[in-house]
Copies of this chain bind each other. A is one copy, B any other.
């Protein structure tokens, strides 16, 4: 590991605003608390790829220069959320107290999301209100630039003939309206809605997504290429996911689970050439809290049709897996915007289940990411 726990020197870089959709969720709370902990040298930057040597001279915003705000429909204050996460073992014992000031500061910048039940505002009104919140944040805090990141709960796949935009797309439209780069860390629609196609194409902003690759799919993106490279015949790939927390409850909705699974299955079909037999289940198991368990069972044929099996069990904390990637993406996409890049960023497929551009093996995606760092350094 090349990460260290020495505190970063006080940042003189112009501050980068990170506007989180779902700003009081587990992921967002971990992002805010974690950035403060890393900046203060309380913890190494484990899991942040952008803190490894290849990213050293890429002019990314220092972790200590990030300023957080966002939207949420939940009103539980961030310091309290952080205490809750620490009690559940997601945040380290004592961290909420140690970064209480930073949590409170971010909490003060959270504005009500929407629409809540009974809200009579039109889509256009909501987009305008959200964009105004973001613009106000940037202005008041004197930020050089900002990036909007969706870390809200997965929303159901929209019906084919809905007259309203999905909520995630309202926020994506607000990012366009306010003129800031956008990251969709969830499987929700976001910028992928046809109604946003024209505006996004001409907006001059850049965006990246979607659906952060944190666990089972991360594994699949290294295992599937192994079978392919060894000419082994994958017959069936089955999986079960158990997760509690907000994500588990959201995914208990079959429509939301369908949205999630679409990304999960894409990597197998893309890498192996065709989807093998097998299904993926997502179960809500509240007893697991923020921890998730993913079991995969891969039945493959070897030489002369011999039947073999690989099974994997991944036990991780979703928020802790997601947060460093969110920080990576905020910094990378903000930097891409600063460089004048526009449109989707296929170079960031390393981070996503359902990337812009081709899905491929994690190794190839990592090579693409390293190539991107050269571009970042070149236009320093």
Contact = CB atoms under 8 A, between A and B. Distances in A.
Interface in A1-17: 1, 3
Interface string A297-320: 101011111111111111111001
18 contacts: A43-B303, A45-B231, A46-B232, A47-B302, A86-B93, A222-B223, A229-B350, A236-B287, A240-B295, A287-B299, A293-B297, A293-B309, A302-B317, A303-B321, A303-B324, A308-B320, A309-B316, A310-B315
What is the count of identical protomers in the complex? 4
A252 to B, nearest CB: 10
Contacts of A62: none
A207 B232 CA distance: 26
A266 interface: no
B236 A288 contact: yes
Interface stretch (A68-76, A134-142, A361-369): A361-369
A229 B362 contact: yes
B232 A242 contact: no
A287 B45 contact: no
Central interface residue in A1, A90, A281, by most chain B CB within 10 Å:
A1
Contact of A309 (B91, B278, B306, B315): B315
Contact of A285 (B86, B236, B281, B293): B236
A361 B367 CA distance: 13
B92 A366 contact: no
Given A33-B304, A46-B304, A236-B288, 10 more contacts: A37-B304, A46-B301, A48-B231, A222-B222, A278-B283, A285-B299, A302-B317, A302-B321, A310-B312, A311-B315
A303 B323 contact: yes
A52 interface: yes
Contacts of A288: 236, 299
A51 to B, nearest CB: 7
A49 interface: yes
Contacts of A34: 303-304
